Amino acid sequence: MYKILEAKILAGNIYEMVVEAPRVANRCLPGQFIIVKLDEEAERIPLTICDYDREKGTITIVFQPIGASTYKIAAMKAGDAFMDFVGPLGTPSELCTEPLEEVKKKKILFVAGGVGTAPVYPQVKWLHEHGIDADVIIGSKTKDLVILEEDMKKVAGNVYVTTDDGSYGRSGMVTKVIEDLINEEGKTYDLCISIGPMIMMKFCCLTTKKLNLPTIVSMNPIMVDGTGMCGACRLIVGDEVKFACVDGPEFDGHKVDFDAAMKRQTLYKTEEGRALLAYQEGDTHHGGCGHCGGDK
């Protein structure tokens, strides 16, 4: 059992938990994720790692409930425990695997949207611990939904908060802030890392492509099973078929077919949609979900 040491609401319907999981904490790196399971009957839920403490043996997760399973998790309190807490899964951020001296030469901009701020934080923190300060844009619908701003300010070079309704920080979408920083304020960047809702990452990539700014995106929003078995997170990157949970979750954002991924995400929710995907994708269809017949 994996004990919950702390549980709180960060903002609105966004929850944070600190979980005792020493083996995961000892091995994980920014960019990776875990899978939690409440009990034997519960659904397996993939969640990105927001923070970790190797000395204390803890993992911090941040999530927004959207279904019965995640609402059950949100109801858990300090002292409760998960039956399973599996990880680290996925590949670490490329920033953690490249030669450090090469990373130090880069000027990096992070673009975080909503709950996507959580997986951005450990990457920015890791860079700071290695003497590299990155700039961060935090985008939110309203002031009440901004998360981890103060934590981010402790580890980032500059933090720019923007809200869709203008209730806090700058006013407008994150794409406007990207353009303003580069075109109006004279900022230069070598790499952008964007994590958030699919639609945000899509338009972020359209903006950075115009600005000739290489961009990495995290496709964790489309993961379901998290082990490569169900095939729900199938996507097209360039001319290749990839699966976010085992090949990613991070990919070259300028090569990701966001429209196909979002359409597939919608279709996968229905039995008829899964059958259609199995027909359309043929031999490249990954069928471990047990619903679409692709595994037979």
- Residue-wise pLDDT for 49-75, tens only, equals 999 999 999 999 999 888 788 889 999
CB 11, CB 4: distance < 8 Å: no
d(CA 67, CA 61): 17
Average pLDDT of the segment spanning 268-293:
49
Q: Whose CA is closest to 145, among 165, 125, 120?
A: 165
- Residues 22-56: tens digit of each pLDDT: 999 999 999 998 989 888 888 888 888 999 999 99
d(CA 231, CA 255): 20
CB 258, CB 203: distance < 8 Å: no
DSSP code at position 187: -
Domain ranges, ordered by start, for the chain? 2-89, 99-218, 223-296
Query: Which pair of structure tokens corresponds to residue 36?
Result: 């939690």
pTM for this entry: 0.84
Q: Please state, for a pLDDT cut of 70, what percent of the chain lies above it.
A: 84
User: Does pLDDT of 272 surpass 50?
Assistant: no
**What b-and-e string marks burial along 39-65, b requiring 16 or more CB atoms within 10 Å of the CB?**
eeebebbbbbbbbbeeeebbbbbbbbe
Query: Which pair of structure tokens corresponds to residue 105?
Result: 């030469």
For the chain, the straight-line distance linking the first and the last C-alpha, in angstroms and rounded, comes to 35
The pLDDT value given to residue 288: 42
The pLDDT value given to residue 293: 39
DSSP E strand boundaries for 108-222: 108-113, 135-140, 158-163, 170-171, 191-195, 215-218
Average pLDDT of the segment spanning 156-180:
94
Mean pLDDT of the chain: 86
CATH architecture of the domain with range 2-89: Beta Barrel (2.40)
Q: What class has domain 99-218? A: alpha beta
Average pLDDT of the segment spanning 169-179:
94
Q: Is 66 helix (H, G, I), strand (E, B) or coil?
A: coil
β-partners of residue 241 are 236
